[in-house]
Amino acid sequence: MKIDEILKKKRTLSFEVFPPKKGSLGIEKIFKTIDELKALNPDYISVTYGAGGSNRNSNVEIASYIKNQAKIEALAHLTGGPSSYSDIDEIVKKLHSEGIENILALRGDKPIDFNDDYCKTFKHATDLMEYLKDEDFTLAGACYPEGHNECESLYEDLAHMKEKEQAGAKFFVTQVFYDNEYYYRLVSEARKAGIKSPIIPGIMPLVSHKSIPSIKNMCGASIPLDFRNMLEVYKDDPELLEEFGINYAVYQIEDLIAKGAPGIHLYIMNRASIAKKIYERLENVFSKLF
């Protein structure tokens, strides 16, 4: 089923996984993770892959497992940046053959070691969406509560977000954020700009102190001072730090749901155990409101 049709009927709960760097053992581990996530009744699971597209074939294999073995809708990430027309045609053919109906269309982050030729064919996510518009997929787009790091302002980024909707995006999934006010501002300003599609907040539980620099480098997400102080106090106690991180994610989710978010997308870093702990704390909420 196409995810935009699900969103017309209900709030969605979803998770994101990513392929292993290499090896069949890693794939089997991801399959086990997906089987564990199935018990949490997600509406869909998205599957990403690394910058540069090095493991995108695994992406198709994992999306197929989600759809055809686990019987959950799959949202396959597809990056235009490193791809040629023939690359995209090949992936699209594989996705069709596996019955995948949903694509998150991205330009993709530019790897540090790539030069200006990284985006030869698809310079923007909208170029990829335009190329896919005659294919039978529901397209999703990415958006950024604090603005994309290559944009001078949120409003420049909102203009690109509107272009994505005009190019075919039926819903959006946000980048990670830790201050819900950024999400509410994004939704408010997007509606003022005429963007009508659902905007699903993306939450990544911060359960490791060493993740803080990578979070900032990856997406520029700011971490509220009170939360950052808690992480600092308990940085040498992994169990307590994980507990605080999970509780903070639960707080974010409760607040987002109470204020009308159309769904929750959890970036779980392939750790089903984290998803389970969050689900257990919110099981009554999910069962009644999703």
Active site (catalytic) residues:
16
Query: Residues 47, 19: contact at Cβ < 8 Å?
Result: yes
- Separation CA 80–CA 59 (nearest Å): 14
Report CA torsion sign: 67, 73, 79, 84. positive
- Separation CA 121–CA 130 (nearest Å): 12
Secondary structure (DSSP) of 53-98? STTHHHHHHHHHIIIIIS--EEEEEEE-TT--HHHHHHHHHHHHHT
The two three-digit tokens of residue 286, written as one number: 């999910």
- Separation CA 191–CA 209 (nearest Å): 36
Residue 171: phi and psi, rounded to 5, are -160, 165
Which of 71, 76, 6, 2 minimizes the C-alpha distance to 39? 71
Beta-sheet strands, E only, within 89-144? 102-106, 138-143
Residue 138: phi and psi, rounded to 5, are -85, 125
Helix, strand, coil % in the chain, rounded to nearest 5: 50, 15, 35
First to last CA, the chain: 17
